[in-house]
Amino acid sequence: MPSLNLGNQQPRTPLNADQAWRTTAGRAAGTVLFFDFDGTLAPVDDDPTAVRPAPAALAAIEALAPVVQRVAIVSARPVEFLRDHLGGLAGVDLYGLYGLEHSHSGGETVTEPAALPWVPTMKELADLARAELPPGALVEYKRLSVALHWRTAPQLGPSVQQWGQAQADRLGLRVQAGRMVLELKPPVDRDKGMVIGEVIRDASGAWYFGDDVSDIKAFAALRARAAADPGFFGVCVAVANPETGHEVANAADLTIESPAALGDFLTQALTHLP
């Protein structure tokens, strides 16, 4: 097992992953497991609509859900997409579009009220992007956000980012950078860090698994809770990637090689939990 440092800003004695799971076992009923989707549960694909989660990761999550307090997927994807791609996972909470949408344990999807007036703006923006961006740029419309991808045409990165930033400035939108993607979203105060901070208020521990720069805010939420409550046990896990992985790994306690390896890691964790 790889080693990890569970320090909260200040270095502490490194523990290995087995030790961390054994510590979690003693508080499993109060522990929340958070997972990003793209690049964490599912490998990144040139076509963002074609991604599929790693089967071993889904199987392990299904086994872990009854053991811990909560399991939550926190993603830039809409809740509907997550529900369709997670194979009917039971007892899992879904937070889509960085928390602008959520669904608890298969219930109805609830949208942040402050974001709803922006739906027409985002639709118009998606249409404009398709008309103005050069061939090779992929426009992903998500109702409450628009993602501009250049994975299949890396040379377009600077021009796509410039176009996206100009539109954000014009419309008063917020920008979220990612792995060869720029996402434009409403100016509403919701992000992964805020979601995690709210969910863990009554938890005694949490693990967050993510691969991209937006996940660093989630790591920060765990650090902040641990700094305020020495009894809280938080672990930040990066899933390696070739684009933003160095920055994410530097912010994490532990790095796992891939979504497939995450499935193996979680399956091993089951041997330590009650």
| Active site positions, annotated | 36
- The two structure tokens encoding residue 52: 């599929």
Q: Give the single-character DSSP code of 41.
A: T
Residue carrying the six token digits 């997670």: 86
Label residues 163-173 b or e (16+ Cβ within 10 Å = b): bbeebbeebeb
Picking from 44, 41, 132, the residue whose alpha carbon sits closest to that of residue 92 is 41
CA atoms of 210 and 239, how far apart (whole Å): 6
In contact, 272 and 23? CB cutoff 8 Å: no
